[in-house]
Amino acid sequence: MAQPAGTPSAAAQYTTNPPRELPKRRGTELAMLAFSALIVTSAFVLVQANQEQELSWSVLWYGLAYLAIFSVAHLAVRRWAPYADPLILPCVALLNGLGLVMIHRIDLATAQRAIARGEEAASNAPRQVLFTVVALAFFLGVLIVVSDHRKLTRYAYTCGLVGIVALALPAVLPSSLSEVNGAKVWLKLPGFSIQPGEFAKILLMIFFASFLVSKRDLFMTAGKRVLGVEMPRARDLGPIIIAAIACLGILVFEKDLGTALLFFGIVLVMLYVATERIIWVVLGLSMFSVGAVIAYSLFTHVQQRVANWIDPLETYDDLGGGYQIAQGLFGLGTGGMFGTGLGLGRPDVVPESHTDFISAALGEELGFVGLSSILLVYLLLAMRGMRSALAVRDTFGKLLGGGLSFAIVMQLFVIIGGVTKLIPMTGVTTPFLSAGGSSLLANYALVALLLRISDAARRPQQAAKPRPVPKAPLAEAHTVMVQRPPAEPGPTGPARPYEGGRHP
């Protein structure tokens, strides 16, 4: 039955409202940044009041620097990633600010001890502000240059090659140019030092994400069944074997257990996300366990780390023994549930409390509740990154976003596990909290990539413009026969033929 003209069709009658444009939520981000600034400023005031019994101009200086840095970061996100997740940047700002507060607090305690001995102490907080400014510039560069994360697939193999070179470079250099505190993970340049492994992990994640997207079907192909489990084919084990060999090389030649564990964990998780086969995780953990046992039986520095982990008090007075771990545990025990209060503890008695053991310093002065709250901020940051990875439309973005988010969690587990004696101490820095330029630069680049992926995930899809229909050339145009209308009879006589252009 024909539908009367002017009546809407059934499809039009039952069509829902057109999809509304998602809010950009930059106002929410600004409000959360203001809340973070309030917490950080209050923490600075407490430290000054409890340490120096007065407020100095340094509180104003650090507060203004903090506000300026993250105001620029917010404006950059508003301009170049307007649909990015509104909680990622505030979480980073809060963690970076609390790290700056604790570094400043340790500087004050170190200065008091140096004055008592008639010496001059170095300040790490001003350097941390400078590193944050440089990291912000790096953050802006990544956000502007990488306008679409999918373009990174064009340079996947280049990223993989550069990442492997950066990871292996400290191992082949002489100890005078690469070794600090027994670990050969540094690149000492005139005037400054850099840790290339921090950047290598991001480059290798880009490579593995692109590689797994292009070769995903190969890794999902099942081989022989062993004990009821479908094993991967032998020729598909190449990437995981290469990763295991690379991690063993890092452990042997660079004496860096943390980077080896972090790198291998990221590879396993990305393999599992790409294939959804738990057998890859089981194989990877088995291979890493075998390699760790071999390394323990062959290398003394691995044996020393394990001995410090099992009983730090037994090796308390030994060179390279458990003194640092024991002091960190004493600080955590002193803090108890609610901590001693900012500026009222003794975190300066823990070696490297401003870098590797800054979580122990925070646990002493903020207690179990405060340290757990900081860990929840990390968890929130990783969850928002995972959420963006799930929501993005392309497979490469899902793998890369998942890998970047898991890298934050894995790095946190490795360092917090070492400080609390859950696993052997590794020497990995705490993201955004610890003092250090390499870690800060690499993690801000990581956050910029997460913001770019979340912007792509939340940005509404634009309807494709209809292509104009090309007109056929005159030689190919169809010819249409037009019939002349019959002549009408005149009022007084026979019909006259129509003469164009003439009127009676």
Q: Looking at the domain assignment, is residue 499 inside a domain?
A: no
What residue numbers bound the domain in which 221 lies?
A: 26-458
Residues of the chain with pLDDT below 50 are 1, 6, 8-18, 503-504
Q: Looking at the domain assignment, is residue 283 inside a domain?
A: yes
Instruction: Report helix angle 88-116 to 26-52, nearest 10.
Output: 10
Q: Are 495 and 488 in contact (CB under 8 A)?
A: yes
Q: Is 106 exposed, middle or buried (0-12, 13-18, 19+ CB in 10 A)?
A: buried
Q: Looking at the domain assignment, is residue 148 inside a domain?
A: yes
Q: Looking at the domain assignment, is residue 100 inside a domain?
A: yes
- In this prediction, residue 13 carries a pLDDT of 44
Q: Looking at the domain assignment, is residue 249 inside a domain?
A: yes
Number of domains in the chain: 1
- In this prediction, residue 467 carries a pLDDT of 65
- In this prediction, residue 338 carries a pLDDT of 93
- In this prediction, residue 236 carries a pLDDT of 61
Half-sphere exposure of 486 (CA within 13 A, CB side): 4
- In this prediction, residue 407 carries a pLDDT of 94
- In this prediction, residue 493 carries a pLDDT of 56
- In this prediction, residue 14 carries a pLDDT of 43
Residue found under tokens 């207690």: 367
Q: Which of 345, 338, 425, 412 is nearest to 102 (CA)?
A: 345
Q: How far apart are the first and last CA of the chain?
A: 50
- In this prediction, residue 274 carries a pLDDT of 83
Q: Which two tokens stand for residue 120?
A: 């001059």
What is the identity of the amino acid at 40?
Answer: V
- In this prediction, residue 16 carries a pLDDT of 47
Nearest 10 degrees: Cα torsion 119, 124, 129, 131: 130
- In this prediction, residue 168 carries a pLDDT of 84
Q: Looking at the domain assignment, is residue 388 inside a domain?
A: yes
Q: Are 180 and 318 in contact (CB under 8 A)?
A: no
- Measured distance CA(494)–CA(320) in Å, rounded: 125
Q: Looking at the domain assignment, is residue 479 inside a domain?
A: no
| φ, ψ of residue 352 in degrees (nearest 5) | 55, 40
CA triple 133-138-143, angle to 5 deg: 125
What is the identity of the amino acid at 102?
Answer: M
Q: Are 73 and 448 in contact (CB under 8 A)?
A: no
Neighbouring CB atoms inside 10 A of 348's CB total 19
CA distances from residue 250 to 159, 256, 262, 346, 375 in whole angstroms, order as listed: 19, 6, 11, 35, 28
pTM, two decimals, is: 0.85
**SS3 of residue 222 by DSSP:** strand
Residue found under tokens 């010819």: 479
- Measured distance CA(455)–CA(468) in Å, rounded: 31
Q: Looking at the domain assignment, is residue 184 inside a domain?
A: yes
- In this prediction, residue 12 carries a pLDDT of 45
Contacts of 75 (CB under 8 A, 6+ apart): none
- Measured distance CA(76)–CA(455) in Å, rounded: 13
